[in-house]
Chain A
Amino acid sequence: MSKPRIAVFDFACCEGCQLQIVNLEEEILDLLAGADVVEWREAMSEQSDEYDIAIIEGSITRPEDEARIKEIRSRAKVLIALGACATIGGINKLKNNFDLDEVKTCVYGADAGKPHLATAMTKAVDEVVTVDFKVEGCPIDRKEFTYIVRCLLLGKTPEIPVYPVCVECKANGNPCLWDQGEVCLGPIIKAGCGARCPSNSHRCFGCRGYVDNPNVNAAKDVIEKYNLDIDTLKLKMSLFGSQQEPTVS
Protein backbone atom coordinates (compact mmCIF):
# COMPACT_ATOMS: atom_id res chain seq x y z
CA MET A 1 0.00 0.00 0.00
CA SER A 2 1.41 3.39 -0.94
CA LYS A 3 1.62 6.05 1.72
CA PRO A 4 -1.35 8.43 1.88
CA ARG A 5 -0.60 11.92 0.55
CA ILE A 6 -1.38 14.69 3.00
CA ALA A 7 -1.89 18.37 2.19
CA VAL A 8 -2.27 21.07 4.82
CA PHE A 9 -4.25 24.23 4.00
CA ASP A 10 -4.99 27.33 6.01
CA PHE A 11 -7.96 29.68 5.99
CA ALA A 12 -8.73 32.40 8.54
CA CYS A 13 -6.60 31.50 11.54
CA CYS A 14 -3.40 32.26 13.39
CA GLU A 15 -1.72 29.11 12.02
CA GLY A 16 -0.97 28.14 15.59
CA CYS A 17 -2.45 24.69 15.14
CA GLN A 18 -0.13 23.95 12.24
CA LEU A 19 2.64 25.18 14.47
CA GLN A 20 1.63 22.51 16.99
CA ILE A 21 2.24 19.90 14.28
CA VAL A 22 5.61 21.41 13.42
CA ASN A 23 6.38 21.33 17.14
CA LEU A 24 5.86 17.57 17.28
CA GLU A 25 9.67 17.42 16.96
CA GLU A 26 10.86 13.83 16.66
CA GLU A 27 7.32 12.55 16.33
CA ILE A 28 7.00 14.47 13.08
CA LEU A 29 9.48 12.00 11.62
CA ASP A 30 7.16 9.17 12.59
CA LEU A 31 4.30 11.03 10.96
CA LEU A 32 6.33 11.52 7.78
CA ALA A 33 7.25 7.84 7.79
CA GLY A 34 3.57 6.98 7.60
CA ALA A 35 2.48 9.60 5.09
CA ASP A 36 3.78 11.83 2.29
CA VAL A 37 3.19 15.51 2.88
CA VAL A 38 2.69 17.08 -0.53
CA GLU A 39 1.64 20.62 0.39
CA TRP A 40 2.08 22.56 3.60
CA ARG A 41 2.71 26.26 3.23
CA GLU A 42 3.90 26.79 6.77
CA ALA A 43 6.53 24.05 6.60
CA MET A 44 7.60 23.60 2.97
CA SER A 45 7.57 25.25 -0.44
CA GLU A 46 6.26 22.42 -2.65
CA GLN A 47 2.63 22.42 -3.73
CA SER A 48 0.38 19.75 -5.17
CA ASP A 49 -3.20 19.17 -6.26
CA GLU A 50 -2.83 15.43 -5.74
CA TYR A 51 -3.64 14.41 -2.17
CA ASP A 52 -5.67 11.88 -0.22
CA ILE A 53 -6.01 13.65 3.10
CA ALA A 54 -6.63 17.39 3.39
CA ILE A 55 -5.98 19.01 6.74
CA ILE A 56 -7.80 22.33 7.03
CA GLU A 57 -6.89 24.97 9.54
CA GLY A 58 -8.98 28.11 9.92
CA SER A 59 -12.53 29.21 9.39
CA ILE A 60 -14.35 30.25 6.25
CA THR A 61 -14.77 34.03 6.32
CA ARG A 62 -14.85 35.29 2.72
CA PRO A 63 -16.92 34.39 -0.33
CA GLU A 64 -13.84 33.15 -2.22
CA ASP A 65 -12.94 30.87 0.70
CA GLU A 66 -16.09 28.85 0.07
CA ALA A 67 -15.07 28.08 -3.50
CA ARG A 68 -11.56 27.16 -2.38
CA ILE A 69 -12.67 24.78 0.37
CA LYS A 70 -15.16 23.11 -1.99
CA GLU A 71 -12.37 22.57 -4.50
CA ILE A 72 -10.15 21.02 -1.81
CA ARG A 73 -13.02 18.84 -0.66
CA SER A 74 -13.57 17.53 -4.18
CA ARG A 75 -9.92 16.43 -4.42
CA ALA A 76 -9.57 14.90 -0.95
CA LYS A 77 -10.72 11.45 0.08
CA VAL A 78 -10.59 12.48 3.72
CA LEU A 79 -10.93 15.98 5.10
CA ILE A 80 -9.82 16.87 8.60
CA ALA A 81 -10.75 20.13 10.32
CA LEU A 82 -7.82 21.21 12.47
CA GLY A 83 -8.35 23.40 15.49
CA ALA A 84 -11.20 25.50 16.84
CA CYS A 85 -11.34 27.95 13.89
CA ALA A 86 -11.99 25.05 11.54
CA THR A 87 -14.13 22.87 13.81
CA ILE A 88 -16.44 25.43 15.42
CA GLY A 89 -15.53 28.75 13.79
CA GLY A 90 -13.54 29.67 16.83
CA ILE A 91 -12.74 33.22 17.87
CA ASN A 92 -13.41 34.37 14.32
CA LYS A 93 -17.10 33.89 14.99
CA LEU A 94 -17.07 36.81 17.40
CA LYS A 95 -17.44 38.85 14.22
CA ASN A 96 -20.88 37.37 13.66
CA ASN A 97 -22.15 39.22 16.73
CA PHE A 98 -21.79 42.54 14.86
CA ASP A 99 -22.86 44.21 11.66
CA LEU A 100 -20.32 43.26 8.97
CA ASP A 101 -19.86 46.81 7.65
CA GLU A 102 -19.26 48.01 11.17
CA VAL A 103 -16.65 45.31 11.64
CA LYS A 104 -14.87 46.22 8.41
CA THR A 105 -14.82 49.92 9.22
CA CYS A 106 -13.49 49.18 12.67
CA VAL A 107 -10.62 47.09 11.28
CA TYR A 108 -9.78 48.77 7.99
CA GLY A 109 -11.04 52.32 8.50
CA ALA A 110 -11.20 54.23 5.24
CA ASP A 111 -10.12 51.17 3.22
CA ALA A 112 -13.15 49.17 4.34
CA GLY A 113 -14.91 49.52 1.01
CA LYS A 114 -12.06 48.12 -1.11
CA PRO A 115 -13.14 44.99 -3.01
CA HIS A 116 -10.31 42.72 -1.83
CA LEU A 117 -11.50 43.26 1.75
CA ALA A 118 -14.87 41.65 1.10
CA THR A 119 -15.99 39.63 4.08
CA ALA A 120 -18.86 37.37 5.08
CA MET A 121 -20.27 35.71 8.18
CA THR A 122 -17.70 33.32 9.67
CA LYS A 123 -18.41 29.63 9.17
CA ALA A 124 -16.85 26.52 10.56
CA VAL A 125 -15.57 24.21 7.80
CA ASP A 126 -18.44 21.76 8.27
CA GLU A 127 -20.91 24.56 7.59
CA VAL A 128 -19.61 24.57 4.01
CA VAL A 129 -18.35 21.07 3.21
CA THR A 130 -18.48 17.63 4.78
CA VAL A 131 -15.81 17.13 7.44
CA ASP A 132 -14.69 13.57 8.14
CA PHE A 133 -12.72 14.16 11.32
CA LYS A 134 -12.27 17.02 13.72
CA VAL A 135 -9.24 17.84 15.80
CA GLU A 136 -10.72 20.21 18.37
CA GLY A 137 -9.04 22.86 20.44
CA CYS A 138 -7.27 26.22 20.42
CA PRO A 139 -4.65 25.19 19.83
CA ILE A 140 -5.02 21.50 19.07
CA ASP A 141 -3.62 18.95 21.49
CA ARG A 142 -0.58 17.35 19.89
CA LYS A 143 -1.17 13.98 21.51
CA GLU A 144 -4.72 13.92 20.27
CA PHE A 145 -3.66 14.97 16.78
CA THR A 146 -1.13 12.16 16.48
CA TYR A 147 -3.66 9.69 17.88
CA ILE A 148 -6.16 10.74 15.23
CA VAL A 149 -3.56 10.44 12.47
CA ARG A 150 -2.60 6.94 13.64
CA CYS A 151 -6.28 5.97 13.71
CA LEU A 152 -6.65 7.20 10.14
CA LEU A 153 -3.62 5.22 9.00
CA LEU A 154 -5.20 2.17 10.67
CA GLY A 155 -8.57 2.84 9.07
CA LYS A 156 -10.24 3.38 12.42
CA THR A 157 -12.63 6.08 13.57
CA PRO A 158 -10.88 7.85 16.48
CA GLU A 159 -12.59 7.50 19.84
CA ILE A 160 -12.90 11.10 21.03
CA PRO A 161 -14.73 11.76 24.32
CA VAL A 162 -18.25 13.14 24.11
CA TYR A 163 -18.34 13.91 27.82
CA PRO A 164 -17.39 17.25 29.43
CA VAL A 165 -13.96 18.51 30.48
CA CYS A 166 -14.90 17.96 34.16
CA VAL A 167 -14.25 14.22 33.75
CA GLU A 168 -10.63 14.75 32.78
CA CYS A 169 -10.21 17.63 35.20
CA LYS A 170 -11.45 15.61 38.16
CA ALA A 171 -9.45 12.59 37.04
CA ASN A 172 -6.35 14.79 37.16
CA GLY A 173 -7.18 15.50 40.80
CA ASN A 174 -7.71 19.22 40.31
CA PRO A 175 -9.55 21.39 42.82
CA CYS A 176 -12.59 22.93 41.11
CA LEU A 177 -11.94 26.41 39.71
CA TRP A 178 -15.52 27.45 40.42
CA ASP A 179 -14.65 27.19 44.12
CA GLN A 180 -11.88 29.71 43.43
CA GLY A 181 -14.24 32.19 41.83
CA GLU A 182 -13.61 31.30 38.19
CA VAL A 183 -16.38 30.94 35.62
CA CYS A 184 -15.02 27.72 34.12
CA LEU A 185 -16.86 26.25 31.13
CA GLY A 186 -15.66 22.72 31.90
CA PRO A 187 -19.10 21.26 32.65
CA ILE A 188 -20.49 22.02 29.18
CA ILE A 189 -17.41 21.72 26.94
CA LYS A 190 -16.23 18.53 25.25
CA ALA A 191 -13.23 16.79 26.83
CA GLY A 192 -10.28 15.31 25.00
CA CYS A 193 -7.74 18.00 25.85
CA GLY A 194 -6.84 16.28 29.12
CA ALA A 195 -8.31 19.33 30.89
CA ARG A 196 -5.18 21.21 29.87
CA CYS A 197 -6.29 24.66 31.03
CA PRO A 198 -7.92 23.86 34.39
CA SER A 199 -4.98 21.58 35.22
CA ASN A 200 -2.86 24.70 34.92
CA SER A 201 -5.23 26.82 36.99
CA HIS A 202 -6.84 28.54 34.02
CA ARG A 203 -10.57 28.27 33.56
CA CYS A 204 -11.89 26.36 30.54
CA PHE A 205 -12.50 28.84 27.72
CA GLY A 206 -14.59 26.39 25.74
CA CYS A 207 -12.31 25.98 22.71
CA ARG A 208 -13.46 22.41 21.96
CA GLY A 209 -17.11 23.33 21.59
CA TYR A 210 -20.16 22.31 23.52
CA VAL A 211 -21.11 18.79 24.47
CA ASP A 212 -24.13 17.45 22.63
CA ASN A 213 -26.60 18.16 25.42
CA PRO A 214 -25.28 21.00 27.57
CA ASN A 215 -27.60 21.46 30.53
CA VAL A 216 -28.56 25.11 30.48
CA ASN A 217 -30.86 24.75 33.49
CA ALA A 218 -27.93 23.53 35.50
CA ALA A 219 -25.79 26.43 34.33
CA LYS A 220 -28.43 28.86 35.57
CA ASP A 221 -28.53 27.20 38.98
CA VAL A 222 -24.78 27.35 39.29
CA ILE A 223 -24.73 31.01 38.30
CA GLU A 224 -27.12 31.68 41.17
CA LYS A 225 -25.18 29.52 43.60
CA TYR A 226 -22.01 31.48 42.94
CA ASN A 227 -23.76 34.87 42.89
CA LEU A 228 -22.91 35.63 39.28
CA ASP A 229 -25.15 37.10 36.63
CA ILE A 230 -26.14 35.40 33.43
CA ASP A 231 -24.36 38.03 31.31
CA THR A 232 -21.04 37.06 32.85
CA LEU A 233 -21.59 33.50 31.72
CA LYS A 234 -22.76 34.58 28.28
CA LEU A 235 -19.67 36.73 27.85
CA LYS A 236 -17.39 33.85 28.80
CA MET A 237 -19.25 31.58 26.41
CA SER A 238 -19.06 34.01 23.49
CA LEU A 239 -15.27 33.78 23.00
CA PHE A 240 -15.41 30.37 21.34
CA GLY A 241 -19.14 29.86 21.41
CA SER A 242 -20.51 32.76 19.40
CA GLN A 243 -23.52 31.75 17.34
CA GLN A 244 -23.42 28.24 18.60
CA GLU A 245 -24.05 28.59 22.29
CA PRO A 246 -27.13 26.93 23.73
CA THR A 247 -29.83 29.49 24.45
CA VAL A 248 -29.32 31.00 27.86
CA SER A 249 -32.37 32.95 28.94
Chain B
Amino acid sequence: MCDCCTESKKDIYLPQMATVTDTRLMNETEMYLKLTMDDGPFDFQPGHFVELSIAGIGEAPFTIASSPTQKGGFEVVVRRIGNVSNAIHALKAGSKIGVRGPLGDGLYPVQEAKGKNVLFVCGGIGLVPQRAFINYVLDNRSEYGEVAILMGTKNYDQRFFQEELAGWANRDDITFVETLDTGDPRWEGRVGVVTTLIEGVKDLLGNAVVPVCGPPIMYKFVLMTLEEYHVPHDRIYLNLERKMKCGVGKCGHCQINDLYCCMDGPVLKYSDLAAVPEAI
Protein backbone atom coordinates (compact mmCIF):
# COMPACT_ATOMS: atom_id res chain seq x y z
CA MET B 1 0.00 0.00 0.00
CA CYS B 2 1.36 3.31 -1.04
CA ASP B 3 1.29 5.98 1.65
CA CYS B 4 2.52 8.81 -0.49
CA CYS B 5 -0.49 9.28 -2.76
CA THR B 6 -1.54 12.90 -2.72
CA GLU B 7 -4.77 11.58 -4.19
CA SER B 8 -5.78 10.21 -0.83
CA LYS B 9 -6.61 13.68 0.39
CA LYS B 10 -9.33 14.12 -2.19
CA ASP B 11 -12.79 12.78 -1.46
CA ILE B 12 -14.53 11.78 -4.68
CA TYR B 13 -17.92 11.97 -2.95
CA LEU B 14 -17.50 15.47 -1.58
CA PRO B 15 -19.56 18.15 -3.37
CA GLN B 16 -18.11 21.57 -4.11
CA MET B 17 -20.28 24.59 -3.55
CA ALA B 18 -21.86 26.51 -6.40
CA THR B 19 -24.22 29.46 -6.59
CA VAL B 20 -27.48 29.53 -8.49
CA THR B 21 -27.35 32.63 -10.70
CA ASP B 22 -30.65 32.25 -12.53
CA THR B 23 -33.77 30.09 -12.41
CA ARG B 24 -36.85 29.84 -14.59
CA LEU B 25 -39.80 27.47 -14.41
CA MET B 26 -40.22 26.29 -18.01
CA ASN B 27 -43.46 24.34 -17.67
CA GLU B 28 -45.28 22.53 -14.89
CA THR B 29 -42.39 20.22 -14.12
CA GLU B 30 -39.20 21.54 -15.70
CA MET B 31 -36.99 24.14 -14.08
CA TYR B 32 -34.03 25.78 -15.73
CA LEU B 33 -31.09 26.74 -13.50
CA LYS B 34 -27.81 28.44 -14.20
CA LEU B 35 -24.97 27.63 -11.81
CA THR B 36 -21.51 29.01 -11.17
CA MET B 37 -18.88 27.20 -9.13
CA ASP B 38 -17.76 29.19 -6.09
CA ASP B 39 -14.14 28.05 -6.38
CA GLY B 40 -11.95 26.84 -9.15
CA PRO B 41 -12.43 26.10 -12.82
CA PHE B 42 -15.21 23.98 -14.23
CA ASP B 43 -14.23 22.65 -17.64
CA PHE B 44 -16.80 20.47 -19.28
CA GLN B 45 -17.78 19.05 -22.64
CA PRO B 46 -21.20 18.25 -24.13
CA GLY B 47 -22.34 14.98 -22.53
CA HIS B 48 -20.85 15.62 -19.10
CA PHE B 49 -23.17 15.31 -16.14
CA VAL B 50 -23.04 16.56 -12.56
CA GLU B 51 -24.30 15.23 -9.24
CA LEU B 52 -26.30 18.01 -7.60
CA SER B 53 -26.55 17.97 -3.82
CA ILE B 54 -29.03 19.51 -1.46
CA ALA B 55 -27.75 18.98 2.06
CA GLY B 56 -30.16 16.83 4.05
CA ILE B 57 -32.16 15.82 1.01
CA GLY B 58 -29.60 13.97 -1.08
CA GLU B 59 -27.87 13.89 -4.41
CA ALA B 60 -29.05 13.20 -7.97
CA PRO B 61 -27.45 13.22 -11.45
CA PHE B 62 -28.25 15.83 -14.10
CA THR B 63 -26.68 16.21 -17.51
CA ILE B 64 -25.33 19.64 -18.27
CA ALA B 65 -27.75 21.42 -20.60
CA SER B 66 -25.46 24.14 -21.90
CA SER B 67 -22.53 24.20 -24.27
CA PRO B 68 -19.03 25.07 -23.03
CA THR B 69 -18.94 27.62 -25.85
CA GLN B 70 -21.30 29.71 -23.75
CA LYS B 71 -19.32 31.27 -20.93
CA GLY B 72 -20.39 32.11 -17.42
CA GLY B 73 -21.23 28.93 -15.58
CA PHE B 74 -23.35 26.06 -16.79
CA GLU B 75 -27.03 25.22 -17.06
CA VAL B 76 -29.20 22.33 -15.99
CA VAL B 77 -32.87 21.53 -16.38
CA VAL B 78 -34.47 19.72 -13.48
CA ARG B 79 -37.71 17.78 -13.76
CA ARG B 80 -39.67 17.80 -10.52
CA ILE B 81 -39.94 14.10 -9.85
CA GLY B 82 -38.21 13.16 -6.57
CA ASN B 83 -36.80 14.48 -3.33
CA VAL B 84 -33.73 16.17 -4.78
CA SER B 85 -35.50 17.70 -7.77
CA ASN B 86 -38.29 18.96 -5.53
CA ALA B 87 -35.76 20.69 -3.33
CA ILE B 88 -33.94 22.13 -6.35
CA HIS B 89 -37.22 23.62 -7.54
CA ALA B 90 -37.31 25.64 -4.33
CA LEU B 91 -33.95 27.30 -5.11
CA LYS B 92 -33.69 30.90 -6.22
CA ALA B 93 -30.95 33.09 -7.65
CA GLY B 94 -28.34 33.37 -4.93
CA SER B 95 -29.05 29.94 -3.41
CA LYS B 96 -26.16 27.57 -2.74
CA ILE B 97 -26.02 24.06 -4.14
CA GLY B 98 -23.48 21.22 -3.96
CA VAL B 99 -21.94 20.05 -7.23
CA ARG B 100 -19.77 17.06 -8.10
CA GLY B 101 -18.43 16.94 -11.59
CA PRO B 102 -18.17 17.23 -14.48
CA LEU B 103 -18.63 13.45 -14.55
CA GLY B 104 -18.75 10.85 -17.31
CA ASP B 105 -16.20 9.70 -19.86
CA GLY B 106 -18.61 8.83 -22.66
CA LEU B 107 -19.27 12.22 -24.22
CA TYR B 108 -20.78 13.61 -27.41
CA PRO B 109 -18.46 13.30 -30.45
CA VAL B 110 -17.88 17.02 -30.93
CA GLN B 111 -14.58 16.40 -32.76
CA GLU B 112 -15.48 13.26 -34.73
CA ALA B 113 -18.65 14.90 -36.02
CA LYS B 114 -16.77 17.84 -37.55
CA GLY B 115 -17.22 17.96 -41.33
CA LYS B 116 -20.18 15.59 -41.07
CA ASN B 117 -23.92 16.14 -41.01
CA VAL B 118 -25.51 15.94 -37.57
CA LEU B 119 -29.05 14.71 -36.91
CA PHE B 120 -30.29 15.24 -33.37
CA VAL B 121 -33.22 13.04 -32.31
CA CYS B 122 -34.73 14.30 -29.06
CA GLY B 123 -37.68 13.00 -27.06
CA GLY B 124 -39.14 15.14 -24.29
CA ILE B 125 -36.65 15.93 -21.57
CA GLY B 126 -34.05 14.22 -23.78
CA LEU B 127 -33.68 17.64 -25.37
CA VAL B 128 -31.79 18.81 -22.28
CA PRO B 129 -28.53 16.85 -22.68
CA GLN B 130 -28.74 17.17 -26.47
CA ARG B 131 -28.96 20.96 -26.10
CA ALA B 132 -25.35 21.03 -24.88
CA PHE B 133 -24.18 19.47 -28.16
CA ILE B 134 -26.73 21.35 -30.32
CA ASN B 135 -25.54 24.72 -29.06
CA TYR B 136 -21.93 23.61 -29.42
CA VAL B 137 -22.60 22.83 -33.08
CA LEU B 138 -24.52 26.05 -33.62
CA ASP B 139 -21.69 28.07 -32.05
CA ASN B 140 -19.23 26.35 -34.40
CA ARG B 141 -21.68 26.09 -37.27
CA SER B 142 -19.15 26.26 -40.12
CA GLU B 143 -17.27 23.22 -38.83
CA TYR B 144 -20.21 20.86 -39.32
CA GLY B 145 -22.18 19.78 -42.39
CA GLU B 146 -25.93 19.87 -42.58
CA VAL B 147 -27.66 19.97 -39.22
CA ALA B 148 -31.16 18.79 -38.38
CA ILE B 149 -32.90 18.71 -35.01
CA LEU B 150 -35.97 16.51 -34.53
CA MET B 151 -37.94 17.16 -31.38
CA GLY B 152 -40.82 15.07 -30.07
CA THR B 153 -42.83 16.03 -26.98
CA LYS B 154 -45.63 14.10 -25.33
CA ASN B 155 -48.13 16.98 -25.27
CA TYR B 156 -48.39 20.73 -25.68
CA ASP B 157 -48.04 21.55 -22.00
CA GLN B 158 -44.76 19.69 -21.68
CA ARG B 159 -43.01 21.79 -24.35
CA PHE B 160 -40.09 23.81 -23.03
CA PHE B 161 -37.29 26.04 -24.32
CA GLN B 162 -40.01 27.37 -26.67
CA GLU B 163 -38.17 30.60 -27.48
CA GLU B 164 -34.97 28.79 -28.21
CA LEU B 165 -36.81 26.21 -30.31
CA ALA B 166 -38.53 29.03 -32.23
CA GLY B 167 -35.09 30.52 -32.84
CA TRP B 168 -33.85 27.23 -34.26
CA ALA B 169 -36.96 26.98 -36.46
CA ASN B 170 -36.22 30.42 -37.87
CA ARG B 171 -32.62 29.68 -38.81
CA ASP B 172 -32.03 28.84 -42.42
CA ASP B 173 -28.76 27.00 -41.83
CA ILE B 174 -30.37 24.16 -39.89
CA THR B 175 -33.52 22.04 -40.19
CA PHE B 176 -35.71 21.98 -37.10
CA VAL B 177 -38.87 19.90 -36.97
CA GLU B 178 -41.07 19.47 -33.94
CA THR B 179 -43.93 17.09 -33.25
CA LEU B 180 -46.32 16.31 -30.41
CA ASP B 181 -47.34 12.76 -29.56
CA THR B 182 -50.90 13.94 -29.02
CA GLY B 183 -52.57 16.84 -30.81
CA ASP B 184 -53.84 19.99 -29.13
CA PRO B 185 -56.10 22.85 -30.25
CA ARG B 186 -53.22 25.26 -29.49
CA TRP B 187 -50.83 23.31 -31.72
CA GLU B 188 -50.69 23.74 -35.47
CA GLY B 189 -47.58 21.69 -36.06
CA ARG B 190 -47.05 18.00 -36.65
CA VAL B 191 -48.60 15.27 -34.56
CA GLY B 192 -47.03 11.83 -34.14
CA VAL B 193 -44.00 10.26 -32.51
CA VAL B 194 -40.52 11.62 -33.23
CA THR B 195 -39.54 8.63 -35.38
CA THR B 196 -42.04 9.77 -38.03
CA LEU B 197 -39.86 12.85 -38.61
CA ILE B 198 -36.79 10.89 -39.65
CA GLU B 199 -38.06 10.23 -43.17
CA GLY B 200 -38.17 13.96 -43.87
CA VAL B 201 -34.44 14.36 -43.23
CA LYS B 202 -33.32 11.07 -44.76
CA ASP B 203 -31.21 12.85 -47.38
CA LEU B 204 -28.71 14.04 -44.83
CA LEU B 205 -28.34 10.61 -43.20
CA GLY B 206 -25.65 9.63 -45.72
CA ASN B 207 -22.74 10.82 -43.60
CA ALA B 208 -24.61 11.95 -40.51
CA VAL B 209 -23.69 11.50 -36.90
CA VAL B 210 -26.93 10.85 -35.01
CA PRO B 211 -27.13 11.71 -31.29
CA VAL B 212 -30.29 10.32 -29.68
CA CYS B 213 -31.76 11.10 -26.28
CA GLY B 214 -35.23 10.52 -24.89
CA PRO B 215 -37.29 8.33 -22.59
CA PRO B 216 -36.23 4.64 -22.31
CA ILE B 217 -38.98 3.42 -24.65
CA MET B 218 -37.94 5.77 -27.48
CA TYR B 219 -34.51 4.31 -28.29
CA LYS B 220 -35.79 1.03 -29.67
CA PHE B 221 -38.08 2.71 -32.17
CA VAL B 222 -35.58 5.35 -33.26
CA LEU B 223 -32.95 2.66 -33.78
CA MET B 224 -35.36 0.54 -35.83
CA THR B 225 -36.06 3.50 -38.09
CA LEU B 226 -32.36 4.41 -38.42
CA GLU B 227 -31.75 0.76 -39.32
CA GLU B 228 -34.21 1.10 -42.20
CA TYR B 229 -32.06 3.93 -43.55
CA HIS B 230 -28.89 1.90 -43.03
CA VAL B 231 -27.26 4.40 -40.68
CA PRO B 232 -24.01 2.74 -39.52
CA HIS B 233 -24.08 1.90 -35.83
CA ASP B 234 -20.80 3.66 -35.17
CA ARG B 235 -22.39 6.97 -36.08
CA ILE B 236 -25.32 6.66 -33.67
CA TYR B 237 -24.74 8.05 -30.15
CA LEU B 238 -27.18 7.23 -27.39
CA ASN B 239 -27.34 9.30 -24.24
CA LEU B 240 -28.63 6.81 -21.67
CA GLU B 241 -30.30 7.39 -18.33
CA ARG B 242 -29.57 5.10 -15.39
CA LYS B 243 -29.48 5.41 -11.60
CA MET B 244 -26.08 7.10 -11.41
CA LYS B 245 -25.90 7.26 -7.64
CA CYS B 246 -22.19 7.72 -6.98
CA GLY B 247 -21.28 8.89 -10.47
CA VAL B 248 -17.75 7.54 -10.16
CA GLY B 249 -18.07 3.86 -11.06
CA LYS B 250 -18.32 2.35 -7.58
CA CYS B 251 -21.88 1.98 -6.28
CA GLY B 252 -23.10 -0.36 -9.03
CA HIS B 253 -26.59 1.06 -9.56
CA CYS B 254 -26.08 2.36 -13.09
CA GLN B 255 -24.42 -0.75 -14.49
CA ILE B 256 -25.59 -1.83 -17.95
CA ASN B 257 -24.14 -5.33 -18.24
CA ASP B 258 -20.39 -4.68 -17.97
CA LEU B 259 -20.63 -0.94 -18.66
CA TYR B 260 -21.04 1.75 -16.04
CA CYS B 261 -23.37 4.41 -17.39
CA CYS B 262 -21.58 6.99 -15.23
CA MET B 263 -18.07 6.04 -16.37
CA ASP B 264 -18.39 4.57 -19.85
CA GLY B 265 -21.33 6.86 -20.65
CA PRO B 266 -23.68 8.53 -20.34
CA VAL B 267 -23.19 8.93 -24.11
CA LEU B 268 -22.49 5.57 -25.71
CA LYS B 269 -21.82 4.68 -29.32
CA TYR B 270 -24.44 2.23 -30.58
CA SER B 271 -21.76 0.04 -32.19
CA ASP B 272 -20.22 -0.43 -28.74
CA LEU B 273 -23.52 -1.80 -27.45
CA ALA B 274 -23.76 -4.86 -29.70
CA ALA B 275 -22.88 -7.14 -26.77
CA VAL B 276 -24.67 -5.02 -24.17
CA PRO B 277 -28.26 -6.30 -24.28
CA GLU B 278 -29.34 -4.31 -21.22
CA ALA B 279 -28.61 -1.00 -22.95
CA ILE B 280 -31.73 -0.68 -25.08
Q: What is the CB-to-nearest-CB distance from B92 to chain A, in angstroms, rounded to a whole number?
A: 15
Q: Besides A155-B90, A157-B83, 6 other CB < 8 A contacts?
A: A154-B57, A155-B86, A155-B87, A156-B86, A157-B82, A159-B58
Q: Which of A156, A157, A159 contacts B56 (CB 8 A)?
A: A156
**Which residues of B from 4 to 60 have beta carbons under 8 Å from A?**
56-58
Interface residue count on the A side (C-beta < 8 Å): 5
Report the number of A-B residue pairs with Cβ-Cβ less than 8 Å.
14
CA gap between A227 and B86 in the complex, in Å: 51
Main secondary structure of the interface of A (DSSP, over half): loop
Residues of the B chain whose Cβ atoms lie less than 8 Å from the Cβ of A154 = 56-57
* Residues of A contacting B87 in the complex (Cβ-Cβ under 8 angstroms): 155-156
Chain B residues near A156 (CB, 8 Å)? 56-57, 83, 86-87
- Pick 14 A–B contacts, CB within 8 A, sort by A: A154-B56, A154-B57, A155-B86, A155-B87, A155-B90, A156-B56, A156-B57, A156-B83, A156-B86, A156-B87, A157-B82, A157-B83, A159-B58, A159-B83
What's the minimum C-beta distance from B95 to chain A, rounded to whole angstroms?
15
Whole-angstrom CA separation of A76 from B56 in the bound complex: 25
Q: Which residues of B contact A157 (CB under 8 A)?
A: 82-83
Residue among A154, A155, A156, A159 having the largest count of chain B Cβ atoms under 10 Å: A156
- Chain A hits for B83, CB < 8 A: 156-157, 159
Closest Cβ of chain B to A22, distance in Å, is 27
CA distance A155 to B90 in the complex (A): 11
A159-B82 Cα distance, complex, nearest whole Å: 11
A83 to B56 alpha-carbon distance, docked (Å): 25
Smallest distance from the beta carbon of B85 to chain A beta carbons, Å?
12
Residues of B contacting A159 with CB < 8 Å? 58, 83
CA distance A155 to B80 in the complex (A): 14
A158 to chain B, nearest CB (A): 9
Q: Which 7 A-B pairs have the closest CB atoms?
A: A156-B83, A156-B57, A157-B83, A154-B56, A154-B57, A155-B86, A156-B87
